[in-house]
Amino acid sequence: MQTLFEADVTSHPVREVLGRHLSEEEIPPAVADYARHLVDGIWSSRAEIDRLISRAAPAWPVDQLSGVDRNILRIAIFEILFDNRSVPDKVAINEAVELAKEYGGDQSPKFVNGVLGTVVSQRP
């Protein structure tokens, strides 16, 4: 989430941000590979993901959401709808809500849960 947030709000190149974050800590290769998979997939799919957010929360323009909420939603929606690694919906939603509790505002957990519930219910 930290990589996506930074690249989103600062326009720094996402791969450079990810590389820096991965080099700052000793991270097992499998975890680093999964981080690359998520970041690359989310970043390349973000226009489509953002359209899904807009459809699920029409009163909240995506560009006006907090950077934290926007990127938490992007991660969860990617895991639920785009990633072939099959993270169960409930797990992706629960993880997103936990991130929102930790890093978002007071209303973030409820907002994230509501948007993701709508996205899941509108799944084709």
Over the stretch 101-119, which tens digit does the pLDDT of each residue have? 999 999 999 999 999 999 9
pTM of the model: 0.94
Q: pLDDT band at residue 87, thresholds of 50, 70 and 90?
A: confident
Is residue 6 pLDDT above 80, yes or no? yes
- Count of the separate structural domains present in the chain: 1
Asked whether 77 and 46 are in contact (CB, 8 A), the reply is: no
The CB density around residue 47, as the number of other CB atoms within 10 Å, is 8
Note the pLDDT tens digit of each residue in 31-58. 999 999 999 999 999 999 999 999 999 9
Domain at 29, CATH number:
1.10.940.10
* Residue among 48, 50, 43 nearest 70 (CA): 50
Domain residue limits at 71: 2-121
